[in-house]
Amino acid sequence: MAFEGWRSGSRRTACGVLAAFGLGLAAAVPARGEPVDYPEILLELPAPPPEDLSAFIESAVKATWVGERPSISALDKLEEHLAEKVRLYVGAVELTDGDNFDLVDEYTPWSFVRAFGRFASYDRLSLSEADARGARKLRELLETGFVGPNPWMHGEMCTAAFGKLEDGALRALADETKTHHSQWRIAAFPWQEAGFMGRTGPFEWKTGQLLLVDDDMPRPENCCWDYVRKPDGTGGYVSRSYYDPLLRPYLNSHACFARDGEGAWKITAVGYRTP
């Protein structure tokens, strides 16, 4: 049966709807651009991280502001936040079996930032450009929030530690609803903190809920809005922000942390998704 249970990092609701999909009633699903009914799916969210880890991440974010031509002293300050060996993993932006990350290599602190900058770019970069880009991309991951034991990174303490569905569940959901997996987003903030357009809102959701963004709905001329459909097919336009998005993708990149031998937090790994 389709959607036969979720991984322990999530909860299943709306069992009747799930059963309907499994019994082959998905043939009644409307074409794209029309209302789509789907089950309410809540992904588990991590508990707040330890206070000293939150303080460490804040310090690391500040250290990533190295400028476009980083000085040696600025890079040294950033490298103080890195473990003796930093692992770089790569993951796909499309759904794959297990949706796992593969190890690229391990780096020393002084080589990681530059290597990550080059890895996260399609352009040929100078040394300083690679350093600046590596620091900037690392900052983006550090600012993602939702830090906790991450099922996407073998349980390590990482950012974007949202719950994970059973392998193939999201692909089945997208197939049944005739949508693409990239249209399914995680509600990262309470609905009370969202901006709604005119008469299309407000409407409620739960933090951690998987919501459908309907890309076929007309885009308002004034930036920036996503049309969000709820499980019952209703919906409306919700404001979106590049810097602190209300709706997060299901497939995320991550920065991970662990304590060193002296008990201090360090950045130990990065899982980066790229086409």
Residue 102, pLDDT score: 95
- Output the six-digit token pair for 179: 């949508």
pLDDT digits (tens, 9 = 90+) for 142-182: 999 999 999 999 899 999 999 999 989 999 999 999 999 99
Compute the average pLDDT of residues 34-41: 81
Which pLDDT score, from 0 to 100, does residue 121 have? 92
Percent of the chain residues past pLDDT 70, beyond the cut? 84
pLDDT, tens digit, 9 for 90 and up, residues 90-108? 999 998 888 889 999 999 9
Q: Which residue has the higher pLDDT, 21 or 202?
A: 202
Residue 124's Cβ-count burial label (10 Å; 0-12, 13-18, 19+) is exposed
The predicted structure's pLDDT at residue 185: 95
- Is residue 6 over pLDDT 60? no
Question: Is the confidence at residue 244, as pLDDT, over 80?
Answer: no
Give the torsion through C-alpha atoms of 149, 251, 205, 35, to 10 deg.
Answer: -160
87/158 Cα distance (integer angstroms): 13
Q: What's the pLDDT at 32?
A: 44
- Of residues 175 and 3, the one with the higher pLDDT is 175
**d(C-alpha 35, C-alpha 31), whole Å:** 8
Instruction: Kindly indicate the confidence band of residue 37, based on its pLDDT and cuts at 50, 70 and 90.
Output: confident
> In the predicted model, what is the mean pLDDT of residues 197-211?
85
The reported pTM is 0.84
Buried b or exposed e, range 74-106, using 16+ CB within 10 angstroms = bbebbbebbbeebbbbebeeebeeebebeeeee
Task: Check pLDDT > 70 for residue 63.
Answer: yes
Q: Are strands 82-91 and 265-273 parallel, antiparallel or unpaired?
A: parallel
For residue 195, pLDDT beyond 70: yes
> What percent of the chain is modeled with pLDDT above 90?
64
Tell me the C-alpha distance between 233 and 181, whole Å: 17
Q: How many CB atoms lie within 10 A of CB 235?
A: 22
List beta partners, residue 271: 89, 254
Q: What is the pLDDT confidence band of residue 34, given thresholds at 50, 70 and 90?
A: low
pLDDT digits (tens, 9 = 90+) for 116-134: 999 999 889 999 999 999 9
**Alpha carbon 2 to its chain's center:** 24
Q: Which is higher by pLDDT, 235 or 51?
A: 51
Give the pLDDT band of residue 111 (cuts 50, 70, 90): very high
* Alpha-carbon gap, residue 57 to 255, rounded angstroms: 10
In what side-by-side order are the strands of the sheet with 82-91?
102-107, 82-91, 265-273, 254-259, 157-158, 148-149
Rounded to the nearest integer, the mean pLDDT of the chain is: 85
Is residue 20 pLDDT above 90, yes or no?
Answer: no
